[in-house]
């Protein structure tokens, strides 16, 4: 069916909802949630929270992407325990007090047609880190003097530091592990209460769950370490704990690093196994990234190009039989569309390209022939842009 563009004089917002031709703009339904297109705003930490509480910054930052047409908008990595924050400015959901300030965000995203999602995480040995523009090094007493932000002790599967110059984290006790598992479940309950409808668990980029998954960070010899099944146990218990408190009709995703890119670390085949195990626990989609376990230096094996992580997502989708989301160095609408049309991924997530152009989704729709006349734009801007285009064309301006 041809997409209908409002004719002159017709109310802009009376246009019928169009039928899309590209894979990128085909709606997708995960459990009880329908997302209007395949574009997700990848979680992007803003380091702007105070004691884990969201504020107007987060609303404005995320609201731009909803107005810009993204189907699913993720709130950044949100700590399930205070000590699981990566930086002092991370968001948190470790107490009921954190719920209320998130509500304006979910309400706005819903109202503007973007499904509100949130990523839950625990930084483990990566906790107590300075913001990127303060050096991405451990917080010290100096930060207390400069910014009133004191360092705090980190926990991890094993007392192995994240990188050179980092303190040894405390090896987690059984009680610590039980606490973290429960904290993920409780935070999921709070996320649902705050109005989120998609959950993404941060199990990649060297965060706590990834630290358990990777032999490079997990040297435990008890049931939480050792072979693949042992190292996977925390991820599975977290999925179970969340599924007990996260509504049945809402989708659950895990962001995993498909490969550590380092000898002796996680390989894609291990991640296929992890994805299978998670699928059996009610996880609906694997959000597929890579790397992050071995410190800040880029591993020698890691060759970056546009969409370089998509093939890993494709392998997981084919071999584990679970839906995938592809992310990383994506900016070309045609390439994103092809990754979906070719069956490598079910959705794409973008981060930096959206910072550069929050309206990327709407521009992609026009490029792929799915939006003529700015009909997908909020009428408050789309109506004017449509009128200007007509006039510019009539007057023969702009080439």
Ligand X SMILES: Cc1cc2nc3c(=O)[nH]c(=O)nc-3n(C[C@H](O)[C@H](O)[C@H](O)COP(=O)(O)O)c2cc1C
Q: How far is the CB of 382 from ligand X (least distance, A)?
A: 25
Closest approach of ligand X to the CB of residue 133, in Å: 10
Rounded to the nearest 5 degrees, what angle is found at the Cα of 310, between the Cα atoms of 359 and 295? 95
CB of 214 to ligand X, least distance (A): 16
Nearer to ligand X, 163 or 353 (CB): 353
Tokens of 396: 């023969």
Q: What are phi and psi of 181, to 5 degrees?
A: -60, -45
In the three-class reduction of DSSP (H, G, I as helix; E, B as strand; rest coil), residue 109 is classed as helix
Does residue 70 touch ligand X according to CB under 6 A? no
User: Which CB, 89 or 138, lies closer to ligand X?
Assistant: 89
Beta bridge partners of 102: none
Q: Which of 329, 357, 378, 387 binds ligand X (CB under 6 A)?
A: 329
Q: Give which of 346, 345, 363, 344 is closest to 354, Cα–Cα.
A: 363
Binds ligand X (CB under 6 A): choice among 50, 144, 298, 352: 352
For residue 388, the minimal CB distance to ligand X (Å) is: 30
Number of residues that bind ligand X (CB under 6 A): 19
Residue 202 is a binding residue for ligand X (CB under 6 A): yes
What lies within 8 Å, CB to CB, of 177 at 6+ separation is 224, 234
Cα–Cα distance measured from residue 77 to residue 162, given in angstroms and rounded to the nearest whole number = 18
Stretch binding ligand X (CB under 6 A), from 37-45, 97-105, 184-192, 212-220: 37-45
Q: How far apart are CA 68 and CA 196, in angstroms?
A: 19
Query: Of 9, 3, 46, 30, which Cα lies nearest the Cα of 351?
Result: 46
CA distance 336 to 29: 19
Determine which residue in the list 23, 30, 39, 44 makes contact with ligand X, applying CB under 6 A. Answer: 44
Q: Give the shortest CB-380-to-ligand X separation in angstroms.
A: 27
Least Å distance between CB 287 and ligand X?
8
Helix or strand run (H / E) with residue 156: strand 155-156
Q: How far is the CB of 254 from ligand X (least distance, A)?
A: 11
- Is residue 309 within 8 A of residue 327, CB to CB? The reply is yes
Q: Does 327 bind ligand X (CB under 6 A)?
A: yes
Sole binder of ligand X in the list 58, 255, 317, 374 (CB under 6 A): 255
DSSP code at position 167:
P
Stretch that binds ligand X, among 36-44, 48-56, 97-105, 234-242 (CB under 6 A): 36-44
Binding site for ligand X (CB under 6 A): 42-45, 76-77, 119, 202, 205, 255, 289, 327-330, 350-353
């Amino acid at each position: 069916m041809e997409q209908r563009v409002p004719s002159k004089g017709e109310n802009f917002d009376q246009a019928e909802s169009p039928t899309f031709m590209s894979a990128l703009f085909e709606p997708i339904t995960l459990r009880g949630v329908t997302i209007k297109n395949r574009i997700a705003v990848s979680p992007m930490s803003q380091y702007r929270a105070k004691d884990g509480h969201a504020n107007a910054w987060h609303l404005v930052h995320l609201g731009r992407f909803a107005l810009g047409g993204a189907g699913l908008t993720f709130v950044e990595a949100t700590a399930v325990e205070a000590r699981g924050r990566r930086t002092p400015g991370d968001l948190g959901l470790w107490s009921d007090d954190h719920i209320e300030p998130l509500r304006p965000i979910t309400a706005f995203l819903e109202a503007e047609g973007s499904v509100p999602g949130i990523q839950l995480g625990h930084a483990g040995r990566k906790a107590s880190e300075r913001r990127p523009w303060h050096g991405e090094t451990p917080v010290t007493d100096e930060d207390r003097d400069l910014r009133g932000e004191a360092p705090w002790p980190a926990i991890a599967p094993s007392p192995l530091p994240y990188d050179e110059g980092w303190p040894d984290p405390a090896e987690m006790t059984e009680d610590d592990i039980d606490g973290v598992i429960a904290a993920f479940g409780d935070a999921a309950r709070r996320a649902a209460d705050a109005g989120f409808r998609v959950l993404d668990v941060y199990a990649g980029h060297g965060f706590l769950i990834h630290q358990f998954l990777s032999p490079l960070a997990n040297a435990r010899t008890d049931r939480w370490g050792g072979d693949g099944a042992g190292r996977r146990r925390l991820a599975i218990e977290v999925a179970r704990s969340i599924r007990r408190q996260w509504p049945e009709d809402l989708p659950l995703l895990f962001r995993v690093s498909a490969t550590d890119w380092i000898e002796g670390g996680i390989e894609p085949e291990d991640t296929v196994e992890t994805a299978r195990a998670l699928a059996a626990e009610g996880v609906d989609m694997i959000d597929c990234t890579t790397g992050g376990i071995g410190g800040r230096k880029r591993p020698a094996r890691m060759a970056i190009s546009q969409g370089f992580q998509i093939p890993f997502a494709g392998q997981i989708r084919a071999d584990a039989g679970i839906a995938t989301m592809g992310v990383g160095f994506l900016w070309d609408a045609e390439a994103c569309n092809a990754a979906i049309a070719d069956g490598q991924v079910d959705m794409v997530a973008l981060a930096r390209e959206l910072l550069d152009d929050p309206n990327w989704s709407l521009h992609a729709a026009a490029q792929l022939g799915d939006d003529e006349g700015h009909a997908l734009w909020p009428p408050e801007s789309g109506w004017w842009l449509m009128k200007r285009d007509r006039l510019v064309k009539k007057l023969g301006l702009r080439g």
